[in-house]
Chain A
Amino acid sequence: MPAKTWKEWEGPVLELQDGIAKLRQMAAKEADSAKRKALESKIAEYEARLAKYIDTQYSQLGPWEKVLVARAEPRPYTLDFIQAICSEFIELEGDRRYGNDPAIVGGPAVFRGRPIVILGHQKGRNIQQRQYRNFGMAKPEGYRKAIRLMQMADRFGLPVVALLDTPAADPGVDSESRGISEAIADSILTMLGLRVPTVAAVIGEGGSGGAIGIGVGNHVLMLEHAVYSVIPPEGCAAILWRQPERGDEAAAALRLTAQSAMELGLIDRIVPEPKGGAHRAPDVAALSLGDELERSLKELSGLTPEELREQRYRKYRSMGVFGTAG
């Protein structure tokens, strides 16, 4: 049976880390210097073993393991990245229609000296935060807030950076009543029509319509272990084989990794993650993402407003693989 969660999959690593932490405590309390030396060498040995284990594990991540890593709780989320890469950020809340959706955050920011508008899906880490952020599943008001922010960026000639990290858009009765489909469709159309540079980056889970709703970029980036899928692998397995537990097979079939997206020509670049994944060294991951975002914004800064719109049109217009009969 494949692991079901990131915690389960990284179990051996977490155990080893725990063990090392305990040894450290013991070493700190140890008065006898010879004994302390022995403990310290033990720690060094375990640490080397841990590093090697992480190295091997993360150099051969399969599609399902990537799904687990992309969903990992300690993985940096949108606000973590914003905090790390922007020198200023003023969050603006509310869609001016109905309410404020905490599952999508955004506002004007300064990124490496450039004024921009940055937005993205926001997940929560503990139970309260997860509930408050609705597990990163945005409601119509979230997409309408995004539309409002993007239109504002357009008015003031500011580039838009969107960070994608959602399992899906919210499927509940409330969202349906307030037009979740229309909100996503309108957000996609708005983004297509912007006359400012747009860069989208999948930082974790790129979950279907909920993700593409704010994912229309002149450039699209994906973090090395992020995933992007039309349907969650468990859902796909439930439809295909009526066995949601075969998510690992469905993940492989869906070709949802950054590497596959690159091969299919659906993204522009893969953002390398630190060894052992973005959650092992969030600062390094943020630096890496920042570098790639800056590169994209520099490349796009040479295009006129009309060229930016046309480039986006052509990019999405050409997506798809088909044949002709005869």
Chain B
Amino acid sequence: MAEFIKCSGCGRVLFHTELMQSWKVCGHCGWHHRLSARERIEATFDPGTFEELDADLVSVDPLGFPEYREKLAAAEQKTGLRDAIVSGMARLDGLPVSVAVSDFAFMGGSMGSVAGEKIVRSLERAAERRCAAIQFCASGGARMQEGMLSLMQLPKTNAGVQRCRDAGVPYIAVFTDPTMAGVLASYASVADVILAEPRAMVGFAGARVSKQAGVGKVPDDFQMAEFAHKHGFIDRIVARGELRDVLAALVRILGARCYAG
């Protein structure tokens, strides 16, 4: 890891060690830099309580798609992960929660068969163990390289949400930069509570698609968490430093019945 980092918000040069003390939020301008899945888990849950599950799932190349295997290998090399989701059980103020965190550094956090499977398993796990489900989203959308299979991860992940609703366990989604397209149009948008980090990109069609479709001038805050919040699709925008406490309170209150039983 480099010793210095240039802030994406204000351009100031920041010490890496200093930046990590605030979980990558710039002390000058408040810019929230992206966290890896591991950093996110460390920043959010009770220390040492995360137990990773389903870590053995790996993407294959079901369509024989050009360059997919190479891209997977490169992403694995870069992140040390097998795919874009890290999931398992953790505790939040002592309460067990089922969590899945996407890592944008792994092929843009794109949702293919492995991500979909891990997400649905983590939602089902919450329903089975009667605890809250927390999903941290960071994804460009469905993984193109798995074609129709990745499109089918939209209903598949929603099936997990259905299980949570049937079981009466709360499901909270946190939109981090970016939460887009196929992920936003499935499990992310049907959570009981939706939180977002400031200035996270949140939207349906990526810039390239919009351009091809002839979408003209857009507002300055278009496809930002603040835009979605203004229009009623995000419940609260929460700064990273306060996220843990907000999540813990929601889990405790909404999950009162499941944790009591």
Contacts and interface: CB of A to CB of B under 8 A. Distances in A.
Contact of B215 (A171, A228, A316): A171
Contact of A185 (B60, B116, B158, B227): B158
A324 B82 CA distance: 10
B120 interface: yes
A240 interface: yes
B142 interface: yes
Contacts of A324: 56-58
A121 to B, nearest CB: 16
A213 B152 CA distance: 11
B60 A181 contact: no
A96 interface: no
Contacts of B144: 230-231, 236, 239-240, 254
Nearest to B161: A189
A212 B154 contact: yes
Contacts of B56: 324-326
B223 to A, nearest CB: 7
A306 B258 CA distance: 24
B147 A229 contact: yes
Interface in B128-161: 142, 144, 146-156, 158-159, 161
B159 A323 contact: no
A322 B215 contact: no
A208 B184 CA distance: 13
Contacts of A316: 152, 155-156, 158-159
B222 A176 contact: yes
A228 B154 CA distance: 14
How many chain A residues sit at the interface, stated as a range, is: 35 or more
Q: Is the interface of B mostly helix, strand, loop or mixed?
A: helix
Interface string A131-171: 00000010000000000000000000000000000001101
Contacts of A212: 151-152, 154-155
A189 B151 contact: no
Interface in A302-326: 313, 316-317, 319-326
Interface string B162-204: 1100000000000000000110111111100000000000011
Interface stretch (B1-9, B62-70, B248-256): B62-70
A10 interface: no
A266 to B, nearest CB: 6
Contact of B151 (A179, A193, A229): A229
A215 B185 CA distance: 14
A178 interface: yes
A253 B189 CA distance: 30
B151 A235 contact: no
Interface of A: 137, 168-169, 171-173, 175-182, 184-186, 188-189, 191-193, 208-209, 212-213, 215-216, 228-231, 234-236, 238-240, 244, 253-256, 260-261, 264, 266, 313, 316-317, 319-326
7 contacts: A185-B184, A192-B162, A229-B148, A230-B142, A234-B212, A238-B212, A255-B147
Given A169-B204, A255-B63, A321-B62, 5 more contacts: A181-B188, A185-B158, A316-B158, A323-B58, A324-B58
